[in-house]
């Protein structure tokens, strides 16, 4: 048996991944990625860039994607807790415009695999959160796209928060109906 549980979600290609954690009185150890096990589960992406962000409670980052350099992402939280979301933007997909959301935290150690063709974002639920992720293509700032986090057609059920903090850019993204782009 491997060191990961790969849970399929309601959207093809999106996985919630739970690593096996080995703990004792010293702390714990876990693998966060092992190419052979991911490939056996059908995730064959080659990751080329790792990123990390730190945010405070109520920060919502997203929903982001790259247009001509789409990225698959393997995301996790190393401190705190977030609600993480992937929205299907693959025009010919039966789940176009649908989303999957999952709580990621330092306690549950779950990871979320977001394939190419999705908008991605997260909301910080703890006082602060450190978020890390692998990408299978490099970041190209001129290639950014976005989807409005509160689009009524997508209807993401974001957890309640006292204060919501977004970048100016994220407040201005188009809705799904206004989006002039799909994968």
- Give the CA dihedral 167, 85, 66, 165, nearest 10 degrees: 0
CA neighbours within 13 Å on the CB side: how many for 179? 27
User: For the chain, which domains are there?
Assistant: 48-171 (2.60.120.10)
Whole-angstrom Cα distance, residue 133 to residue 169? Answer: 21
Backbone angles phi, psi at 88, to 5 degrees: -70, 120
Residue with tokens 């048996």: 1
> What positions carry a catalytic annotation?
64, 133
Read off the pTM. 0.96
* Chain segment 9-63, per-residue pLDDT in tens: 999 999 999 999 999 999 999 999 999 999 999 999 999 999 999 999 999 999 9
Whole-angstrom Cα distance, residue 162 to residue 24? Answer: 37
Q: Tell me what the pLDDT averaged over the chain comes to.
A: 97
What pLDDT sits at residue 1?
A: 65
Q: What is the mean pLDDT of residues 158-176?
A: 96
């Amino acid at each position: 048996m491997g060191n990961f549980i790969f849970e399929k979600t309601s959207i093809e290609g999106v996985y919630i991944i739970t690593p096996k954690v080995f703990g004792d009185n010293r702390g714990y150890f876990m693998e966060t990625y092992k190419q052979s096990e991911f490939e056996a589960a059908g995730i064959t992406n080659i990751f080329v860039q790792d990123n990390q962000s730190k945010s405070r409670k109520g920060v919502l980052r997203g929903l982001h994607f790259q247009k001509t350099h789409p990225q698959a992402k393997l995301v996790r939280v190393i401190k705190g807790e977030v609600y993480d979301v992937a929205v299907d933007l693959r025009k010919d997909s039966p789940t176009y415009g649908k989303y999957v959301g999952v709580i990621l935290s330092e306690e549950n150690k779950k990871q979320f695999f977001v394939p190419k063709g999705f908008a991605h974002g997260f909301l910080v639920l703890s006082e602060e959160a450190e978020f890390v992720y692998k990408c299978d293509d490099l970041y190209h700032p001129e290639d950014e796209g976005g989807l409005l986090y509160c689009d009524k057609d997508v209807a993401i059920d974001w957890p309640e928060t006292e204060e919501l903090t977004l970048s100016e850019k994220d407040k201005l993204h188009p809705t799904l109906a206004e989006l002039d782009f799909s994968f």
